[in-house]
Amino acid sequence: MKISSETKIGLLTAVTLAILIIGYRFLKGSNLFDRSKIYYAVFKDVQMLDASAPVLARGIKVGTVIKVELKSENPDSVVVTLDVKSKIRLPQNCKAVLISTGIIGGKAIELRFDHHCIEDCVPNKSYLNTEVQSLLSGMFPKNEFEEYTKLLSASLDTLFSSTGVKTEVNAAAQDVKATLHNLAKVSEQLEAVMSASSHHINQSLKNVDVLTTSLTNDSKAISQSLENISVITKQVKDADPGKLVKDANATINHLDQTLTEGKKSIAQLNQVITQIEQGKGSLGKLINDPNLYKNLEKTSKNLEYLLQDMRLNPNRYIHISVFGSKNKPYEGPVSDPVDNIK
């Protein structure tokens, strides 16, 4: 009998899917070839318990957590579904305890019971009693943990029963109280200062913003100035020191010569002023001789009156004759104001 290609492809697909399903269930901790029972445990908080977490019995893995979900009728509770091997027969007093498998926070479910059940066992798909174990109690056996707790309590009682220790503890408590009080006062003062200075702080921030904007706008000019400084620095670095010293000496000598000539000019000016004050020279006589000043004033007045008379009596000075008549003799004014000038 010849098998068609379509049949071969179908069989291969089915086998592949079966292998994938078996592998997926195996990775999750389930075994398709081993019959198991389903149990439920309800907790208020599962503390990051994940599906596929192990289910333990006396430290041996006997099953897997297959589902963690909120209870539909009561969202405050979490229902954990346990897949347990069928050969594990749980008695009625069995508890599902949420434990920590390590300090870093791994979680698991541990089934705790005294003995295996022979009769009156917990039926399949039943709810188990639950308990949550703390991290410290999980790190120590129950009896040892209780002993450590008793020893610690006794040590603390002995320690605090001493009068000196009580005094020191009370003093430390008072110091802590005073420190907290001072811290509260400082906090209030700081808040008051911040409230009072909020306007100035805002203004300072605005000024900083304006300064930043100005620097941004002037960045091109600043860059150009820095380039110029760089060029000047390079020129100074590349220049000949001997030539620079020689040029500086020449400039200083030129300044000295200019100062010397300026001193000579000032001395000559002082000499001229002295001669003027002593009445020497034309300017000195003009300033110091009163008769010369009066003569100049009299001459100025005569010129003023002459111009005034020419304006009032032009016929005295300009005579036009068509027929050749003789000029009239000059007739002075009755009272000549020039005579009043002394």
- In this structure, the answer to whether residues 48 and 124 fall within a common structural domain is yes
pLDDT in the model for residue 164: 63
Task: Determine, yes or no, domain membership for 228.
Answer: no
pLDDT in the model for residue 12: 86
- In this structure, the answer to whether residues 96 and 107 fall within a common structural domain is yes
pLDDT over 90 at 120, yes or no: no
- In this structure, the answer to whether residues 50 and 114 fall within a common structural domain is yes
| pLDDT one-digit tens code per residue, 302-323 | 888 888 887 887 777 766 555 5
pLDDT in the model for residue 152: 76
- In this structure, the answer to whether residues 8 and 73 fall within a common structural domain is no
Picking from 21-35, 160-174, 267-281, which range would have the lowest pLDDT averaged per residue?
A: 21-35
Task: Determine, yes or no, domain membership for 223.
Answer: no
pLDDT in the model for residue 83: 94
The mean pLDDT value for 68-89 works out to: 90
pLDDT in the model for residue 108: 94
Task: Determine, yes or no, domain membership for 206.
Answer: no
pLDDT over 60 at 278, yes or no: yes
pLDDT in the model for residue 78: 94
Going by their DSSP bridges, the two strands 60-70 and 78-85 should be labelled as antiparallel
The mean pLDDT value for 14-19 works out to: 88
Task: Confirm if 76 and 42 have CB atoms less than 8 A apart.
Answer: no
The kind and range of the H/E element at 98 are: strand 95-100
pLDDT in the model for residue 31: 56
Give the residue numbers spanning the domain of 3.
1-33
The mean pLDDT value for 243-251 works out to: 80
Task: Determine, yes or no, domain membership for 301.
Answer: no
Q: Which two tokens stand for residue 232?
A: 């000047």
pTM above 0.75, yes or no: no
DSSP letters along 32-86, please? TTS-EEEEEEEES--SS--TT-EEEETTEEEEEEEEEEE-SS-TTSEEEEEEEET
> Which range has highest mean pLDDT (97-111, 200-214, 307-321)?
97-111
The mean pLDDT value for 27-52 works out to: 81
Task: Determine, yes or no, domain membership for 120.
Answer: yes
pLDDT over 90 at 129, yes or no: yes
With both helix axes pointing from N to C terminus, report the angle between 198-217 and 163-196 in degrees, rounded to the nearest 10.
Answer: 60
Among 87, 119, 141, identify where a domain stops: 141
- In this structure, the answer to whether residues 6 and 65 fall within a common structural domain is no
Closest CA to 121 of 52, 16, 28, 39: 39
pLDDT in the model for residue 62: 93
- In this structure, the answer to whether residues 9 and 93 fall within a common structural domain is no
Closest CA to 268 of 179, 180, 260: 260
pLDDT-derived band at 68, boundaries 50, 70, 90? very high
Among 84, 110, 141, identify where a domain stops: 141
Among 96, 121, 141, identify where a domain stops: 141
- In this structure, the answer to whether residues 132 and 73 fall within a common structural domain is yes
pLDDT-derived band at 144, boundaries 50, 70, 90? low
The domain total for the chain is 2
The mean pLDDT value for 325-342 works out to: 56
Question: What does the alpha-carbon distance between residue 51 and residue 80 come to, in Å, rounded to a whole number?
Answer: 9
pLDDT-derived band at 46, boundaries 50, 70, 90? very high
Task: Determine, yes or no, domain membership for 267.
Answer: no
Per the model's pLDDT, the better-predicted residue between 283 and 180 turns out to be: 180
Closest CA to 88 of 54, 124, 53, 51: 124
Picking from 81-85, 93-97, 126-130, 240-244, which range would have the lowest pLDDT averaged per residue?
A: 240-244
- In this structure, the answer to whether residues 74 and 115 fall within a common structural domain is yes
pLDDT over 80 at 275, yes or no: no
pLDDT in the model for residue 319: 60
- In this structure, the answer to whether residues 65 and 19 fall within a common structural domain is no
Task: Determine, yes or no, domain membership for 66.
Answer: yes
Closest CA to 80 of 40, 23, 132, 133: 40
Task: Determine, yes or no, domain membership for 123.
Answer: yes
- In this structure, the answer to whether residues 84 and 14 fall within a common structural domain is no
The mean pLDDT value for 21-25 works out to: 73
Q: What is the DSSP letter of 339?
A: G
- In this structure, the answer to whether residues 2 and 96 fall within a common structural domain is no
pLDDT in the model for residue 325: 54
The mean pLDDT value for 131-158 works out to: 69
Percent of the chain with pLDDT over 90: 20
Question: What does the alpha-carbon distance between residue 224 and residue 135 come to, in Å, rounded to a whole number?
Answer: 70
Per the model's pLDDT, the better-predicted residue between 186 and 107 turns out to be: 107
Round the average pLDDT of the chain to a whole number and report it.
79
